[in-house]
Amino acid sequence: MRQMTMTATDLDALRDAKRALENPGLAAKITNALGVPVERALGMLPDTWSVPVTRAAHSAIATALHVAAGSLKNTLGGRAGNRLHKALVVATGAGGGAFGLPALAVELPVSTTIMLRSIAAIARSQGEDLADISARLACLEVFALGGRPGRNDASEAGYYAVRSAFGKVMVDAARYIGQRGLAKEGAPPVVRLIMYVAERFGIQVSEKLATQAVPVIGAAGGALINYVFMDHFQSMAHGHFTVRRLERIYGEDAVRQEYEKMNYNTMDGGAAR
């Protein structure tokens, strides 16, 4: 039977989750780490760069979906594995930074798959049953999250807004994959899933790739960017699966009500009651 009143410990966990999920976005984290404004780096890219970014994001999510539908259920939980995953992603970032933009189309699917396995380990540590295809797709859902890039776009970028938009897409895809697998990648539920996640993931990939494309970045900068990229999505995963864990205890409506009562502008001072 679900408790009606959330404990102080769980309220603190939810508050930490909201802080991770809503603030700050990837662009701010990269800027803080490198001192290179992402907006300036984006302005240096040619107008045609959106096409390869879209293709790279789509390829990365399609590859990640194959992993999620197959071997992800065998992922082990625990924080130790996340350090290994982060080290592997840093190594791929060094290669991307050293060899420039042409290497990124190869690097991104590799680093995304490594990140997915780290996300799965976090999910398992929060009590998710990765034998369930819905739980595995919830790992893929993390790539559609990303924090709030601005203060005035909560309706589009807020955590629950993203989840609500993703809900039917994930349910349909989970049902289809559970029944038929990925034998037909062109099946509408699978295509919609990949397109939805890739579209949102591509925004953050653009920020990452734009900064890596800055001539002075090099291998060391590429490694640092990938560290920030990985750390960002690990943070999203901790927040996401903390919320899902609390929803299993208290119910989705109760958790969402508490989440939304926590004033975004006063997170460091606690929740507004």
What pLDDT does 158 receive?
87
Q: 241: closest CA among 163, 150, 79, 124?
A: 124
Q: 93: closest CA among 263, 270, 224, 245?
A: 224
What pLDDT does 13 receive?
97
> Residue 88 corresponds to which tokens in the numbers above?
């592997």
Domain borders along the chain are 8-37+49-265
Does residue 225 contact residue 217 with C-beta atoms inside 8 Å?
yes
Does residue 209 contact residue 101 with C-beta atoms inside 8 Å?
yes
Amino acid at 73: K
pTM (predicted TM-score): 0.83
How many CB atoms are located within 10 Å of the residue 65 CB? Answer: 24
Cα torsion angle, 39, 200, 262, 11, sign: negative
What residue ranges of the chain have pLDDT lower than 50?
Answer: 1, 80-81, 93-100, 149-155, 266, 269-273
**How many angstroms from the chain centroid is the CA of residue 82?**
14
Does residue 163 contact residue 179 with C-beta atoms inside 8 Å?
no
What pLDDT does 244 receive?
98
